[in-house]
Chain A
Amino acid sequence: GAVVSQHPSWVICKSGTSVKIECRSLDFQATTMFWYRQFPKQSLMLMATSNEGSKATYEQGVEKDKFLINHASLTLSTLTVTSAHPEDSSFYICSARTVLAGSTDTQYFGPGTRLTVL
């Protein structure tokens, strides 16, 4: 159990267009979902935290108007990169937080989405 999927796994887009990335928890309901950005050979940088039905909380320095997060249900969160530019090219990873039966509170990560902006 505890599978998190992301779609698409990779996307190439032109500068100025918008790209939507989906994050789904397939076999559990996530109380909270997180979006991270990872640059090559670096650690994950938390971008924002989202709870179902409420506005996302963005980390300092992350533009909320550029990275739109919608948490429509307990199993789906989307990240839209608006008016993408080459500097937005990165690996975007989501995670879903839950407490599984017989376990403790932890996060499960999606496989990531590679975004390349030309």
Chain B
Amino acid sequence: GDSVTQMEGPVTLSEEAFLTINCTYTATGYPSLFWYVQYPGEGLQLLLKATKADDKGSNKGFEATYRKETTSFHLEKGSVQVSDSAVYFCALTLTTDSWGKFQFGAGTQVVVTP
């Protein structure tokens, strides 16, 4: 079945460090890929997305490129801030799937220290 695998956390970084969160997927069709962020006690916010191979999603200094050959969608940010501390979820949806159900990864907690 379709699935998303992302690196386990927590990932602890110092402010201004480079962040990478790995995400790989398996899918029977051609998925759209997403990164969502969840701050403590809150719901999920869409961070960025890509709908086809080689697309790059970007937002708030975060980037991720849809790599079909490696079935990956790694999230990167060049210089993290304390306010980036959150849980990050990689997700996919097959637009041809019934009603666009999402498959989420387990989430990666990121802790940025001053």
Point out residues on A near B: beta carbons under 8 Å: 4, 6, 32, 34, 41-44, 46, 49, 51, 57, 93, 95, 97, 104-112, 114
Interface string of B72-114 (1 = CB under 8 A from A): 0000000000000000010001010011111011110100000
Which residues of A sit under 8 angstroms from B43, Cβ to Cβ? 4, 6, 93, 109-112
User: Are A109 and B105 neighbours in the complex by a CB distance under 8 Å?
Assistant: no
Other-chain residue from A34, A43, A106 in contact with B105 (beta carbon distance below 8 A): A43
User: Are A97 and B51 neighbours in the complex by a CB distance under 8 Å?
Assistant: no
User: Are A104 and B44 neighbours in the complex by a CB distance under 8 Å?
Assistant: no
With A43-B106, A43-B107, A111-B43 as known contacts, state yes or no: A106 contacts B34, CB within 8 Å. Answer: yes
Chain B residue at minimal CB-CB distance from A45? B104
Q: Does B62 touch A at the CB level, under 8 Å? A: no
Q: Does B45 touch A at the CB level, under 8 Å? A: yes
The answer for the CA separation of A34 and B41 in the assembled complex, in Å, is 19
Which residues of B sit under 8 angstroms from A108, Cβ to Cβ? 46
Q: A106-B34, A108-B46 known; 5 other A-B pairs, CB under 8 Å?
A: A4-B43, A42-B106, A49-B99, A105-B93, A114-B41
The answer for the CA separation of A49 and B34 in the assembled complex, in Å, is 19
Q: How far is the CB of A4 from chain B (nearest CB, A)?
A: 8
Chain B residue at minimal CB-CB distance from A110? B43
